[in-house]
Each structure stands twice: as C-alpha cells, then as structure tokens.
Amino acid sequence: MNLVRSAFARLRDLQLGIPTPPGLDPIQLHLGESRLEAMAVDVAPLAAAEGWTRYPQLGGTAELRTAYAGWLERRFGVREILSGGDLVVEPTPGTKQAVTVAVDRAVRQVRGGGEAAVVMPNPFYPTYHAAAVAAGARPVYYGLDGKDPGHVRDAVAAAGAPVAAILVCNPGNPGGEILPESFLQDVAKTAAASGALLIVDECYTDLFLGAAPPGYLSLVERRAVEPGRFLVLHSLSKRSGAPGLRSGFAAGDPQTVSDYAYYNRVCGVSTPLPVCAVAAQLWRDEAHVLRTRRALAGNWDLADAQLAEVPGYHRAEAGFFLWLPVEDDEATARHLWRESALSVMPGRYLGVAGSDGVHPGTGRLRIALVHEQPLMREALERLRRVMAAGAP
C-alpha cells in the first residue's frame, strides 16, 4: 500500500522551524473549516446525558430521516424516487468515512482477484486517492479543463482494468467549479456502461455564489440519467460549518445504500442520538445557510478588491477556496508563512502528476476564505502585500 502522505502533515513539515514575524498572529487559511457563521441551533440535546448513555439507533432517528427527506425535496425536488423506494438514504459519520467505505466495497465487488481501477478528478480531495489505494485499486485521473466529460470517458478507457468507481466532486474542491447537468448525464452514462459505481460528492452544494449547482438527485428524479449504481454524499461540515458533528448522509440506489448501511451498521459508526437531534435541526433550517452564503460572498468581494491585480486571480463559482496561480507553490507557501504568518496549502499536496507527467496542483495555492470579515480582510491585505513584493 503506497498512500500519499497527508497534505496537512506535509504542510506542517514545510513550516517546521520557520519563525513568523513578531507581533503577527498566525491566520489559518489552509483548512476548509468555516468560521463564516456561528452555528445558530439549539445545542441543548448535546448536553442531555440520557442520549449519550444509549447506543445509537441504527439508520438514524425518524426525526433525522424526515429532515433528510424534507431537505432533499426543497433543495433538489426529490419526492417520487424517495417515496417509491428507488432512492434510499443512510446517515454517515461525515464524508471521509463514506467515501472510503463506498470505494472499498465497490473494489471488492468487481476485482475478482485481479486489479481494479478507481477514476477520480485531479487535483482532488485527498481521501479519494487514499481510499482507492487503501482498497488495493489503481487510481486513474481525469482533469476538468473546460468541464469536458470526455476526460472521464478517456480515463475509463485508459484504465486497463475493471473500473470499480468513478468519483465526481460538484462543486469542486479545490477549484470551486460547478459541473453542468450535461457533464453529470455524460458521466452517469459512462459509469453505467462500464459497470462502475458513480460516487457524487456534493458537500459544497449549498456554498454557491450565483446560481445553485445542479444536483445529481434532481436528474435521477426526472429520469434524466442512465440507470446504474450511484451514491450521492452530503454533509453538515460545509453546509452548516459543523465538521465536529461528523454527520452527513448518503443517498443512492437501494442496492448500493443497503450494502453501505450493512457494512457501517456492523463495522462502522452510527450517529449518536444527541447528534441526530442537532443534525435534524440543521437540515430543517435554511436561514443559517443563507447567512453563510452572504458572508461567503462578502469574503469573495474582499478578495476581488484586494487581489484584482494579482496575476491569475479569479473568483470561484462556488465554495470558499481560492485556487491561486503562483510560480512555485511550496516556496510561496513558505514565504507567506515566514513573512506574513499566513498558512496556505500548496496545490501539489492536493493532486499527483498524471500519465503525461503534468501535476495540475503544482504552481497553485489553495487559500480558504473561511473567517469572519475583519480577520479575512487582514489576511487578504497581508497576502496582497507579500504577493505585490514579488516571488520568494
């Protein structure tokens, strides 16, 4: 097993022994941990001792499952496929575990003693790659240049092994691109034709800056995609700025979700009753999400104003990651830490070199616009000053 080392461990090593300027407090911009909006929810259930002294209810509480269904209908128009049993929902302890289990189960089902492939975007959420390698599969990559689904078809064709799963992130991490319905339809057709499980990570779907991103489940509801195995992932980590709850859900075809649910209920982690209660509140409430989007748009406005003259700067379509071109991402990240106490993520830590030898993350920084505006303004002013002074 040859796991790529954690991006965060590599960043710690990069900063090790480098002093920051006296009098400047460090500002963490490397982590997608939202501070945009205080979690406006009644957390009293978390203090209820009884809930912590009982085993979690397998499959979540009725209240939580009802909250899932209500949000899916409001956000994506999902109704018939859920009530008719064509769509099944299961709580997950966050997205990382769900991705890992889903990939592993998919690889086990198709490998048959030989090698299997997992197709994923590059750059990527690091868990995609780690999950494939941990399952004994070979990662195969596609780029998102021009949002062309042909890149996914080419990756599947070049896999040279049965494709166990195809991973899609919409909106993207780290680039913040929104993939159109036509892309999702094409990838669904590719997955069905290859017999692969389609995993659609939509954890950033509520962090949009313009029009709402299309949801894969909307296409399923309208029968606008090829039938096949699919799993769509959602989480409160980004939508509600509550990563510590470790609470999300998977929605997909009955066979895939039942397989995931069986594994997780026997070998995994079920959602504690107090967490179910708080999570249900958050899925029912849209007001805090609207406030988060307004705060996020304000941060992007600050970035537009501060960084307009920085070569290559552009506003993302969704999410809170600025994917900024630089000459040398590692050197610039070190320089920003040394000169301005800004912690940013080198892009090369979020991807790998493709078969052509080109690494799409090299020469990029991922910068998280996740803080309240006064701190975000200070961070962006520091960033602008260092960038204006020239490369390290």
Average pLDDT over residues 67-85: 97
Asked, for residue 168, whether it belongs to a domain, the answer is yes
Confidence grade of residue 46 (pLDDT, cut at 50, 70, 90): confident
Residues 190-202: pLDDT tens digits? 999 999 999 999 9
Distances (CA, A) of 238 to 171, 364, 365: 12, 22, 20
Asked, for residue 357, whether it belongs to a domain, the answer is yes
The two structure tokens encoding residue 241? 């700025």
Q: What is residue 257's predicted lDDT score, i.e. its pLDDT?
A: 98
Same domain, 219 and 231: yes
Residues 197-230: pLDDT tens digits? 999 999 999 999 999 999 999 999 999 998 899 9
The residues, ordered by sequence, that sit 6+ positions from 228 with a Cβ below 8 Å of its Cβ are 188, 191, 192, 198, 253
Average pLDDT over residues 291-299: 97
Confidence grade of residue 390 (pLDDT, cut at 50, 70, 90): confident
Q: How far apart are CA 343 and CA 363, in angstroms?
A: 16
Lowest-confidence pick of 3-7, 185-189, 200-204, 277-281? 3-7
Q: What is residue 97's predicted lDDT score, i.e. its pLDDT?
A: 96
For residue 309, pLDDT beyond 80: yes
Same domain, 218 and 172: yes
- Upper half-sphere CA count for residue 109 (Cβ side, 13 Å): 18
Asked, for residue 129, whether it belongs to a domain, the answer is yes
For residue 63, the one-letter residue type is E
For residue 60, pLDDT beyond 80: yes
Q: What is residue 139's predicted lDDT score, i.e. its pLDDT?
A: 95
Same domain, 156 and 101: yes
Q: What is residue 380's predicted lDDT score, i.e. its pLDDT?
A: 98
Q: What angle do CA 20, 4, 321 make, to 5 degrees?
A: 55
Mean pLDDT across the chain: 94
Q: What is residue 3's predicted lDDT score, i.e. its pLDDT?
A: 65
Asked, for residue 21, whether it belongs to a domain, the answer is yes
Q: Give the residue numbers spanning the domain of 231.
A: 44-284
For residue 1, pLDDT beyond 60: no
Distances (CA, A) of 35 to 237, 297, 319, 370, 374: 11, 14, 13, 5, 12
The two structure tokens encoding residue 344? 């940013």
CATH of the domain at 374: 3.90.1150.10
Residue at a domain's end among 284, 299, 315: 284
Same domain, 299 and 240: no
Same domain, 77 and 142: yes
Asked, for residue 1, whether it belongs to a domain, the answer is no
Cis peptide before 126 (omega within 30 of 0): no
Residue at a domain's end among 224, 252, 284: 284
Same domain, 280 and 147: yes
CATH of the domain at 171: 3.40.640.10
Q: Which is it for the CA torsion 272, 276, 277, 278, positive or negative?
A: positive
Same domain, 248 and 376: no
First vs last C-alpha separation in the chain = 36
Q: What is residue 38's predicted lDDT score, i.e. its pLDDT?
A: 76
Same domain, 111 and 207: yes
Q: What is residue 358's predicted lDDT score, i.e. its pLDDT?
A: 87
Same domain, 134 and 15: no
Same domain, 134 and 179: yes
What is the three-state SS of the chain? CCCCCCHHHHHHHHHCCCCCCCCCCCEECCCCCCCCCCCCCCCHHHHCHHHHCCCCCCCCCHHHHHHHHHHHHHHHCCCHHHHCCCCEEEEECCHHHHHHHHHHHHHHHHHCCCCCEEEEECCCCHHHHHHHHHCCCEEEEECCHHHCCHHHHHHHHHCCCCEEEEEEECCCCCCCCCCCHHHHHHHHHHHHHHCCEEEEECCCCCCECCCCCCCHHHHHHCCCCCCCCEEEEEEHHHHCCCHHHCCEEEEECHHHHHHHHHHHHHHCCCCCHHHHHHHHHHHHCCHHHHHHHHHHHHHHHHHHHHHCCCCCCCCCCECCEEEEECCCHHHHHHHHHHHHCEECEEHHHHCCCCCCCCCCCCCEEEEECCCCHHHHHHHHHHHHHHHHCCCC
For residue 389, pLDDT beyond 90: no
Q: What is residue 50's predicted lDDT score, i.e. its pLDDT?
A: 87
Same domain, 228 and 324: no
Asked, for residue 2, whether it belongs to a domain, the answer is no
Asked, for residue 201, whether it belongs to a domain, the answer is yes
Residues 87-144: pLDDT tens digits? 999 999 989 999 999 999 999 998 665 789 999 999 999 999 999 999 999 999 999 9
Same domain, 28 and 86: no
Asked, for residue 342, whether it belongs to a domain, the answer is yes
Number of domains in the chain: 2
Residue at a domain's end among 284, 317, 332: 284
Confidence grade of residue 339 (pLDDT, cut at 50, 70, 90): very high
The whole-model pTM stands at: 0.96
Q: What is residue 327's predicted lDDT score, i.e. its pLDDT?
A: 95
